[in-house]
Amino acid sequence: MAKELVVNQTHSECRIALIENGEILDFLVDRQQGLQQNIAVGDIFLGRVLRVLPGMQSAFIDIGYERAAFLYVDDAYIPTLDEQRQALEKALSGEAPPSRRLGEVIPDEFSTLTETVDMKFRPDVKIQDFLKEGDEIVVQVAKEPISTKGPRVTRHITLAGRHIVYMPFIEHTGVSRRIESEEERKRLKDVLDSIRPEGCGVIARTVAEGQSYKTLKNDYNMLVKIWKDVQKKQEKLKAPIDLYQDLTFVQRALRDITDEDVDQIVVDSKQVQRQIEKFIKQYLPNLKAKIKHYDAETPIFEQFGIDLEIERALSNQVFLKSGGSINIDQTEALVSIDVNTGKFVGKKTLEDTILKTNLEAVKEIAYQLRVRNCGGIIIVDFIDMEREENRVQVYQTLLEALKKDRAKTNVLPISGLGLVEMTRKRTRDTLVRTMCEPCPYCEGVGRVKSVDTVSYEIIREVTKTFKRTQSNKVTVFAHPEVCASLSSEEFGLIEVMEETFQKTLLIRADNNYHVEQYEVYIHEP
């Protein structure tokens, strides 16, 4: 299967898509405009504690960004080595119920790449016991700013290399759960145990499979050097200030979503191509011959069909090949997905038609979640199926389709109502929020009052005004469509009002008025 990394640079915007047989496996976009600092997962800051909130067991940290960063107590407390070892022993022996997983200490961008081990890290401490306003602390971005929320940060620092993840504060040796060979997992653990010193943690990423001791050791040495440089900066500088910025946008994409299976890397910018070549020469030498410069007349994303897929991902309704459809609605609280048969009528029984639609929808849903980067709580309303075996088949197909997703997902079985509840990790904003903004007309609500509704509001307002004023003349200013409705024979508003109150009513249209906006002007007597 052809797998390609397509890179498009347009002025200060860079778009990267990893595609396989025309299907988007991952899509990233970065825009650098003005002087505003871009916050990325993995960046490390020396921050200052602005407020400690005992009631929420959290704190707000000034890292020099326009919005304060959020720090939760679990991310704020750094356990001692003895506490870590005791917690691990209790968790593995079953003496204590696990309340936290090691993978969750790692920034979410890397959590899907790591093996998780149940551990109760945090003893019963309160954030106000070890953190106070004015403290200067080193934090790392775990989630980028999303919508109106500032970035979420953690004190559990992790540094990701090409092959390993280094954790200076957590003692642990782990291997990506995507490496399935038990023999290879044991080999990697033995290598990492021989590399890491006491008190630190190292996790082998998926691409570490088959790599030599020397390669992993070089990766580890580089990450340790980065951490030592961060510590030196911390001693010399004052908060708030950045101590370490992760790789450039393009380099992060090469590190995190590119592997040896990529058949070619196609880029339409010579400058970006040089960045890629420099990174690949050091970390991915096998891909050096696969870099190609694209300079055809047709835009690169249009040529590869990516623009069309992005447009589909910005729409609320996505049509299936069979004629069915799925409707996707994203809100602050959750993402709801509704499956419909649409024009698909099937050839056999109703149950067979429903099953085929649901199975087709499953693959499209998993695909759209990746492309749109939907996160948080997701509710999928499948078409009701009578047979239990059909519900199981749809559920298992969904789990299989989600294996392509780098983000961590948790999926519950289909309920009696035909609903699937699931969660998906999100560290950056959704595609819709990145590329769109709320409608200035409806202010993001998605609907406006009808012309009839506004017309009746005006009638009630005019009636109230005529009763309260001594003036013999009132003028209504409103949107042209509303004015046309008020002046129509159906309403007969002017004649009725003037006859009832013996006063003059004028209606004036103004194109600058919103359809819901109007003004009742009272002329002086």
In terms of domains, do 475 and 491 share one? yes
| Residue 120 near residue 91 (C-beta atoms within 8 A) | yes
- Confidence class for position 344, pLDDT limits 50, 70, 90: low
When computed from its CA atoms, the radius of gyration of the chain, rounded to whole angstroms, is: 29
Confirm whether 337 is domain-assigned. Answer: yes
Q: What per-residue confidence (pLDDT) applies to 89?
A: 72
In terms of domains, do 194 and 295 share one? no
In terms of domains, do 202 and 79 share one? yes
In terms of domains, do 83 and 228 share one? yes
In terms of domains, do 90 and 225 share one? yes
**Which residue's entry shows tokens 């003349």?**
473
Confirm whether 445 is domain-assigned. Answer: no
Question: Which of the listed ranges 35-39, 103-107, 503-507 does the model predict with the highest average pLDDT?
Answer: 503-507
Q: What per-residue confidence (pLDDT) applies to 119?
A: 40
Q: Is residue 87 pLDDT above 80, yes or no?
A: no
Question: Which of the listed ranges 179-183, 187-191, 488-492 does the model predict with the highest average pLDDT?
Answer: 187-191
Confirm whether 440 is domain-assigned. Answer: no
| Percent of the chain predicted with pLDDT > 90 | 47
- Confidence class for position 107, pLDDT limits 50, 70, 90: very low
Which H or E run contains 496?
helix 493-501
- Confidence class for position 93, pLDDT limits 50, 70, 90: low
Q: Is residue 415 pLDDT above 60, yes or no?
A: yes
Give mean pLDDT, residues 118-130: 69
What number of residues does the chain have? 525
Q: Is residue 204 pLDDT above 60, yes or no?
A: yes
In terms of domains, do 125 and 234 share one? yes
Q: Is residue 103 pLDDT above 90, yes or no?
A: no
Q: What per-residue confidence (pLDDT) applies to 392?
A: 93
Confirm whether 353 is domain-assigned. Answer: yes
Q: Is residue 109 pLDDT above 50, yes or no?
A: no
Neighbour tally for 409: CB within 10 Å:
18
Confirm whether 442 is domain-assigned. Answer: no
> What are 47-80's pLDDT values in tens digits?
999 999 999 999 999 998 888 999 999 899 888 8
Q: Is residue 15 pLDDT above 90, yes or no?
A: yes
Give mean pLDDT, residues 431-449: 83
Boundaries of domain holding 456: 451-522
How many domains is the chain partitioned into structurally?
4
- Confidence class for position 110, pLDDT limits 50, 70, 90: very low
- Confidence class for position 171, pLDDT limits 50, 70, 90: confident
Lowest mean pLDDT among 38-42, 268-272, 290-294: 38-42
Where are the extended beta strands (E) located within 384-512? 409-411, 419-424, 473-478, 504-509
- Confidence class for position 106, pLDDT limits 50, 70, 90: very low
Q: Is residue 194 pLDDT above 80, yes or no?
A: yes
For the whole prediction, is pTM greater than 0.75? no
Give mean pLDDT, residues 166-194: 90
Q: Is residue 405 pLDDT above 90, yes or no?
A: no
| Percent of the chain predicted with pLDDT > 70 | 91
In terms of domains, do 496 and 387 share one? no
Higher pLDDT, 98 or 275: 275
**Averaged pLDDT score across all residues of the chain:** 85
Confirm whether 444 is domain-assigned. Answer: no
Q: What per-residue confidence (pLDDT) applies to 91?
A: 64
> What are 139-164's pLDDT values in tens digits?
999 988 877 788 999 999 999 888 89
Confirm whether 425 is domain-assigned. Answer: yes
Residue type, 132: K
Q: Is residue 353 pLDDT above 90, yes or no?
A: no
Q: What per-residue confidence (pLDDT) applies to 345?
A: 62
Task: Please name which of 422, 443, 420, 444 lies closest in space to residue 432, comparing C-alpha atoms.
Answer: 444
Confirm whether 431 is domain-assigned. Answer: yes
Domain boundary, last residue among 213, 229, 245: 245
CATH number at residue 93: 2.40.50.140
Q: Is residue 117 pLDDT above 70, yes or no?
A: no
In terms of domains, do 184 and 61 share one? yes
CA distance 407 to 425: 6
In terms of domains, do 299 and 177 share one? no
CA distance 487 to 247: 64
| Residue 324 near residue 339 (C-beta atoms within 8 A) | yes
Pairing outcome for strands 504-509 and 473-478? parallel
How many angstroms separate the Cα of 308 from the Cα of each of 313, 381, 428? Answer: 9, 26, 22
In terms of domains, do 101 and 238 share one? yes
Q: What per-residue confidence (pLDDT) applies to 68?
A: 92
> What are 295-334's pLDDT values in tens digits?
999 999 999 999 999 999 999 999 998 888 999 998 878 8
In terms of domains, do 423 and 318 share one? yes
Domain boundary, last residue among 313, 333, 366: 313
Q: Is residue 104 pLDDT above 50, yes or no?
A: no
> What are 485-504's pLDDT values in tens digits?
998 877 777 888 888 899 89
Domain boundary, last residue among 221, 245, 269: 245
In terms of domains, do 182 and 193 share one? yes
CA distance 116 to 105: 10
Q: What per-residue confidence (pLDDT) applies to 434?
A: 82
